[in-house]
Amino acid sequence: NLTQRLAKVVKTMRGEARLTETNTAEMLREVRLALLEADVALPAVREFIAKVKEKALGEDVISSLTPGQALVGVVQRELAALMGADLGAAASQLNFATQPPAIILMAGLQGVGKTTSVGKLAKFLRENHKKKVLTVSADVYRPAAIAQLQSVTEQVGADFFPSHSTDKPVDIALAALDFAKKHHHDVLIIDTAGRLGIDAAMMEEIAAVHTAVKPIETLFVVDAMVGQDAVNSARAFHDALPLTGIILTKLDGDSRGGAALSVRHITGVPIKFSGVSEKMDGLEAFDASRMANRILGMGDILALVAEAQKNMDVSAAQDLAQKMKSGGKFDLNDFKAQISQMKKMGGLSGLLDKLPAQMQQAAAGANMGMAEKQVRRMEGIINAMTPLERAKPDLIKASRKRRIATGAGVQIQEVNRMLAQFEQMQSMMKKLKGGGMMKMMRSMKG
């Protein structure tokens, strides 16, 4: 897991203000391994690492982040960009700018999900774009394939143009086109045969269909589970056909989806949709940022980093660190400030929610709900004190304790316990030498 790996390295990078060749080398090595583990092809990994390096070097590290976190930020940003984040919502749009019908040609190996995706697309285009859709199968090798397309087409309420396994794929496509024109269909989706491996005859056949009907969209369908093999099929189809987009299927599986990066690297065309179930509603517009996080295996850790940047009162935290460094004492005013800081970030359990699963498991034993309740009671007690008492807790003797307890609505014993706990914390803070809760949170985030 990349998060765990990086956590190690992040620790060694604390306190550096800039990303440099040396302090990023080890991190980048880990990122490289993580990508290879996610089944991204080596040339794609190499190109990506080189790009990250170029972007990262010399970048200033925002004061609320460690250099490690800053680099993770660059990695995520670049990966999302490579996945097509910069293309924006337009990336998942299909092109209809043509004399109807707009023809969509499906390409890809057998079993990747072409026929299923035709059904999903037909449903999507009918419901979201109010298009009149016709489908046709040019898969003449398996009679069951034609019946399968008919079944999914009827399921989503689109029109189906019957074909026969004795017909030629090009003739089938032309006949369907003719029919679509006559019946004013907005869209014609052509399903094709896929072999188990790439073979020249298959490529020639689909290229011939392409030449005959000149589709406005040629979508390469690829299975997210296949990993490294995606590279070879992507290259073969990219060489044979002018692809316009990719559908990445079976993302509901447990693959990290490294194929997405490889396929983008080779074809350069946008990933338009993801398939997320066998059902007809299992089609989503492709989300580049989410995919980047999935490939990196980072949970929502980046959301946490982003939130920390947004919410942390950086200067207050720095003031405290400065105070501690110059021998100042951590007092109850500081504690109060840190509690409110933590609340801004959604409290202890809010923090926990954003950690990747493995780290959540590790933290589960800590009984966050209990800890949170305690923190709230402590806060109530601190609020009942005067600023002077917070600055000099030694002043708090019997009569002051009674007043505070009444103010906070607790027993005197609880005030005593709170003060004892605070003393403990104070000595722990001294050991940490500054940072305090900030530091604790940083080590969680790494």
- Interaction of residue 194 with ligand GDP, rule CB under 6 A: yes
- Interaction of residue 137 with ligand GDP, rule CB under 6 A: no
- Interaction of residue 197 with ligand GDP, rule CB under 6 A: no
How far is the C-alpha of 114 from the C-alpha of 393, rounded, in Å?
71
Of 23, 69, 115, 163, the one binding ligand GDP (CB under 6 A) is 115
CB of 117 to ligand GDP, least distance (A): 6
Please list every residue from 281 through 320 that binds ligand GDP, using CB under 6 A: 282
CA atoms within 13 A on the CB side of 227: 11
- Known binding residue 321? Answer is no
CB of 338 to Mg ion, least distance (A): 59
| 374 phi/psi in degrees, rounded to 5 | -65, -45
Sheet strands (E) in 278-331: 283-285
- Interaction of residue 114 with ligand GDP, rule CB under 6 A: yes
CB of 187 to ligand GDP, least distance (A): 18
User: In terms of CB distance, is 114 or 123 closer to ligand GDP?
Assistant: 114
Distant-in-sequence, close-in-space partners of 338: CB < 8 Å, separation ≥ 6? 320, 436, 437, 438
CB of 113 to Mg ion, least distance (A): 8
Cis peptide before 101, with omega less than 30 degrees from 0?
Answer: yes
Q: Residue 275's closest CA among 283, 267, 265?
A: 283
Q: Residue 94's closest CA among 113, 69, 117, 112?
A: 117
User: In terms of CB distance, is 41 or 247 closer to ligand GDP?
Assistant: 247
Q: Are 194 and 108 in contact (CB under 8 A)?
A: yes
CB of 220 to Mg ion, least distance (A): 14
- Interaction of residue 131 with ligand GDP, rule CB under 6 A: no
List the single partner that 31 binds among ligand GDP, Mg ion, none, CB under 5 to 8 Å by kind.
none
User: In terms of CB distance, is 107 or 269 closer to Mg ion?
Assistant: 107
- Interaction of residue 113 with ligand GDP, rule CB under 6 A: yes
Strands 245-249 and 187-191: unpaired
Q: Report the interface residues with Mg ion, using CB under 5 A.
A: 114-115, 145
User: In terms of CB distance, is 111 or 369 closer to Mg ion?
Assistant: 111
Stretch that binds ligand GDP, among 244-252, 312-320, 407-415, 428-436 (CB under 6 A): 244-252
- Interaction of residue 228 with ligand GDP, rule CB under 6 A: no
Of 64, 66, 116, 163, the one binding ligand GDP (CB under 6 A) is 116
Order of strands, sheet of 245-249, starting from the edge strand that comes earlier in the sequence: 159-161, 133-137, 187-191, 102-107, 217-223, 245-249, 271-275, 283-285
> Rounded to the nearest 10 degrees, what angle do helices 67-83 and 258-267 cross at?
60
Q: Give the residue closest to ligand GDP by C-beta.
A: 275
Q: Residue 83's closest CA among 272, 353, 317?
A: 272
DSSP, collapsed to helix, strand or coil, labels residue 104 as strand
Q: Residue 389's closest CA among 332, 312, 321?
A: 332
Q: Are 433 and 328 in contact (CB under 8 A)?
A: no
User: In terms of CB distance, is 92 or 115 closer to Mg ion?
Assistant: 115
CB of 58 to Mg ion, least distance (A): 50
- Interaction of residue 409 with ligand GDP, rule CB under 6 A: no
- Interaction of residue 275 with ligand GDP, rule CB under 6 A: yes
User: In terms of CB distance, is 116 or 244 closer to ligand GDP?
Assistant: 116
User: In terms of CB distance, is 87 or 198 closer to Mg ion?
Assistant: 198
- Known binding residue 115? Answer is yes
How far is the C-alpha of 301 from the C-alpha of 353, rounded, in Å?
10
- Known binding residue 42? Answer is no
Stretch that binds ligand GDP, among 19-27, 31-39, 129-137, 269-277 (CB under 6 A): 269-277
- Known binding residue 113? Answer is yes
- Known binding residue 155? Answer is no
Of 276, 359, 378, 418, the one binding ligand GDP (CB under 6 A) is 276
How far is the C-alpha of 89 from the C-alpha of 285, rounded, in Å?
8
Stretch that binds ligand GDP, among 11-19, 90-98, 112-120, 344-352 (CB under 6 A): 112-120
Q: Which two tokens stand for residue 70?
A: 């800053």
Concatenating the DSSP letter of every residue in 135-162 gives: EEE---S-HHHHHHHHHHHHHTT-EEE-
Concatenating the DSSP letter of every residue in 12-36 gives: HTTT--B--HHHHHHHHHHHHHHHH
Site residues for ligand GDP per CB under 6 A: 108, 110-116, 194, 249-250, 252, 275-278, 282
Give the residue numbers of the binding site for GTP: 108-115, 191-195, 249-252
